[in-house]
Structure 1
């Protein structure tokens, strides 16, 4: 096992604030929802119990998977993404990824140790001082991969210095940047308009692991069904609210978190069916649900969210009155990828029938 593998196998602390206790039930029978019977160490933000503060990443990423045999043409293969046909090494050894979705995919299919460069991201406002510029849910080993700038604005010189044999990005890159990347190594672009599962699978295919992605997807879907059945998810309406600097959004069916909840059979409040939209500042009623999951987009989102959640209008919501508001990790619930989706399922298992 390499040094990075050993570091990756450690548990990481995703969030760290002031410890508190809240109630949690894993039972799908609502008749047993008794806050006094559930014990879990957590934290609290404006009355919301913080979820996933000690997410265990031991053994999280898949072990190395066999390279795809289908589609090989000697030492290369043809990968089609975002209208571009790109010839890439059949089994890339040095990979640069420019999106968090592709980084997540490298973990899901066991190629993360071949990733030599990856994007950086702002730290979550509740991250510990020792936090690194990567989503904590992927583990400390992945956090130590060399940075190549933020998503959408890669450092071309840094990428060139890493001498990759394949680059995986998204079609939101400026054409001039894509042309520069093409001059460094074969570059595969995922399409923003495709589903997150399609983007994950294409990223895996560019690493020679489409079959592994297919297996991981099947395992994820099976787990989503299991979580839904065990939690009796269809009896619960879960609201999704994401706070930003200027207000809040109600995350709809088009959001990553909304799609994962749907795959687990969790119902959504009527006002949150359809596309993501703004939550009116003068009427919080559309945020109501049997329980509410809240996310904070950076420090400004945390400050805005705390202000709203401390208001009388928020406290009058039934979920707040019943102590059924949970703060979840924005880098997971607003992320993308099979590993992030699995982390959401874990959070749902631990909270869907719980109390703060």
Structure 2
């Protein structure tokens, strides 16, 4: 089955906001053994939208359409789909104005996060799936719609995820046996992420699924921090391990300004293990809060703020993070991580890229190394 995504909105084409629904859709499609083959972004223009829907229906089986289902003059996705399919709009919902109209004979899905409903339109053996552009609404409706579309088709599909800590794609590929790489019944994906590699194995053979799951767990046992039928991440596994050990964590951040802590804060139940964060962004704050007056981007600075956080929150563990985020200077991207627990662990790495990219990579690097430390204790 070939899948495409059409994202509609002039706010996307002029760069006013970033397109994120493709990330949501691609991550959820993995469960069903599918991936997006094409992503197209178009403005709020009736002729352009209609032309792209026609093109996608000629080349793809499932066309997901995001955006243009609101109540303003430029929300014209319904009209574009109706014009192309020749299926009339009909008023059959108790919703304001334009949102009360749906495509004739479409399956309609109620939106409990917002107002605009989702729809599945059957057209010439193709499925056109209409979803609101607001990411929270898109995400909410997508679960029910994907289950409706694909659940009966995945009864014999086996999908496994393997998260490999602090590894690189090429080194992982070299460890994969030729037997697996040449197995036509197994589809394998290798994704290089921040401070980790994600392996995704798909097969419709239960025997092959069990065989390769056992083999991969053994091959990568030294760096495998999670394996299962759903994805995970550093912060989720950190929370699990700390809960299991009855231990707590605090954080001290400088350059990342709370980014690392925000990743922990979104994990349900993290309050039982995560105590809080000290943000020592300025030189003065490091002096006042931590008593540190040396080189503010150094192993010593990372250690000083980590110790201050551990003492202040009386936590079992503390992470200290400092770096040069740039964009100017001779050492842009240089980062230092200190982890303080029963003993002290220090890590450093230089990252390349823009400021936002560096900060994200540094926070991942810190979490990855902390996960490795507590996994081995």
TM-score normalised by structure 2 residue count: 0.34
Structure ID, larger Rg:
2
More strand by share: 2
User: What TM-score, normalized by structure 1, do the two folds share?
Assistant: 0.35
